[in-house]
Structure 1
Amino acid sequence: MEEKKGLRVGFVGDSILYGWAVAPEAACWRVFQELAGMNVVCDGDVNPLALPGGTLPDLVTRTPRLVARYGPQLVFVCAGANHYDGDGTLSWPYGMTEAELFRLFYRLFADLTHAGCKVVWLGLPPFEACGTDQEIPRNLSQRIAGFCADQIWDSCYVTDCMMRDPSWNAGGGRFYDNLAMDIHPNTAGQVCIAECCAAWLRQQNGLSW
């Protein structure tokens, strides 16, 4: 791990990676910083690379400027959830097709790559009503990865990390207080995202740039 400590890491996305609805110290990017001993992009207690309520057009517009300012080398991305309803149906903004959305994903990843970042796609988070197997967000995440394969360095799906826990959805949710209603991961969910990213990093023996 020593050779990786000098890397500057960013978490690009919406309220999930911002750490909405948990204490600042419980946000996934902050927990990852503690777990991995990495230099993580922050502005005080805020992750400036994540925008609560952010959509793909928002992120495509703002991310290049912020990447130029903060200079991350390794970027974890979890975005797109604000375009889907709780059943995993593309619902916002009205009229956007899946093809258009996938092209926005491609542009976001391409902008990051062209800025010199290594991009790790964390996939879409669990959707409330997709069942315990979360087949819809998992399939969507894999399709997005396939469409953007030449711009993504690697994928590490946070939904799969959560589902490895046999009680992840028990009694309303281990990582969400009530998966049938909640939008945001609770503290345990934020820790799981951080652990997923830290575990991915540990697997990268001989990480080179």
Structure 2
Amino acid sequence: MINPARPTLVALALAGALLAVGCSSTETAQTPVSEGGPDWVDRPQSAYDDGGTTAIYAVGIAANNPNPASRRAMAIGRGRTELANTLNILVQGMVEDYQSTNRDFYEGMDTASSLEMWSSISRQVTDQVMSGSQHVDSWRDPGTNTEYVLMMLEFNNVISAYKDKMEASFRRDQTRERIKVDQEAMMGRLDEQLDALRGRDASAVIEDFKLGG
């Protein structure tokens, strides 16, 4: 079991994702955190590797709401938005990495088609795996009555969904004759990419895909 409050939390500087989620990010900057809060409160996006389990985390924040249930629901919703934006950027980077590493597969694909592929697969993966996101911790700042929630998504679920959507994309592209390479070869290269990702620290993987700005 991952401990979301453990002191070895690895913070990620996800500038692109932070800009995409202005509402909760702005509130993070404007709402000072009282002493005594858990470590994750000050780290809007992060990743853990713990006991062989890798997960992506995001923090949702809600303030100025006197209703505890409503405040908690709002924070969870914002945490899911943060998580989805992080995931969207991550998957786009994974697709781009696959294409750039295997240029021989995509010689006939123009830039517009490549961008369409990145966007489509990222959206599909995000839609599929976000239902598995979990609310794993919460904290209310007694000084400001601000609610913080920690949302989590297991990285293995992301990899599985990414593989499914990439393989479906291979089949569609061959049907449209946009690529003329044996599917088995493409899937073999995909497995190589995923094996490399599974063997790395989550924070390093995410930083590689330009989430650090």
Q: With the length of structure 2 as denominator, give the TM-score of the two structures.
A: 0.26
Q: Which structure dedicates a bigger proportion of its chain to helix?
A: 2
Query: Is the radius of gyration larger for structure 1 or structure 2?
Result: 2
Bigger relative contact order (CA 8 A; separation at least 6) = 2
Q: With the length of structure 1 as denominator, give the TM-score of the two structures.
A: 0.26
Q: Which structure dedicates a bigger proportion of its chain to strand?
A: 2
